[in-house]
Chain A
Amino acid sequence: MKSLERGHVPNLATIIYYSERGGPLNRASPWAKLLGLVLFVVAATIIQSALLLIVLYILSVLLYVLGKFPLRKLVGWSLFPVLFILTISILFIFSQPGRPVIAVPGVFVITDMGLLLVVKLLFRGLAVVNYSLTFIMSTRYSEISGLADRLFPRPFDVIFLLTFRFIFVVFEVLEAALLAAWARGGSLRRGVTSTSSLYAKIFAVGVVYSFDKAERIGKAMEARGFSGELRSYEKLRSPSALEWAILLISVLIVVTAYMYQGVIP
């Protein structure tokens, strides 16, 4: 549990370390990986079959492993998405029709369809989270800025890139705050509910500190000539014939799965 606690926030340094090294997926075209991300999001959105969503999740884990990224970290990073999805789905779990599975008469009824909804949301969300992590851990920041530069018009590309950096600033600040809390005895081991006020405070302070840090970073960028325009100098490699073939086959599989999902549970 201790390792889970210490590693449930994606760490910028770790992500950069993997994105800058030459792993198997790092050599793939950033365009191909981005199209793969779009395909993953589309697949996770249109597929309704729980079994197919589990297959999609397993595929996302396999891709992550193929990239030679640490599986243990992925387990840690999954904690927050899982908590988030459970928090969202708990609102709908009691209102689903179906065969009762857990029931407290007069208080609540959880049906098989309600549980299935949770399972679907979990695997749908985690598949996209896993592939997103695989994407950013296998794509250098300069490539991501190159993609943003070509995809979005000014100033949206700059807004996108600064937002991307800001997310990691928030993560860094949160990580530091969590470590400081753990150093003084705060822990998830005592249960999320009993320490929820501590974590709420850390989150609130984290956001405030992040803005402060982001302001200082912005000031330092301005001092080095930044005038609202981030210039990209990365030449992006187009997908190879093999990458196009893999993408095409993947599209066909997603379309087929969508069309025939009625016959799969």
Chain B
Amino acid sequence: MPVITFIEFDGTEHQVDGESGMTVMETAMKHNIPGIDADCGGSAVCGTCHCFVEAGGDLPAVEPQEESMLGLRPDRESNSRLSCQLQISDQMNDMTIRLPEFQM
């Protein structure tokens, strides 16, 4: 089981166990990590679970739907992802997820 470290915009860190089959977004919601809103519930159509993947590999490629939402973010970086599209598996390495200043 990979360990997921969420870092809020103000630097506060939260370490939680990632469960196989859940997404990073669902993990954040389950543990009440502030900074992820997930207004659409995981369909990649709202963009409010945006995050930056600082470490942790083997991620699925960005699909066109995710790309179209990321493209609207004024604060997009090369490691920007929608956390609802990041499915966790037991084979994954530990991940570090940095949260943006705001969701919109």
Do the two chains bind? no
Chain B residues packing against A (C-beta within 8 Å): none
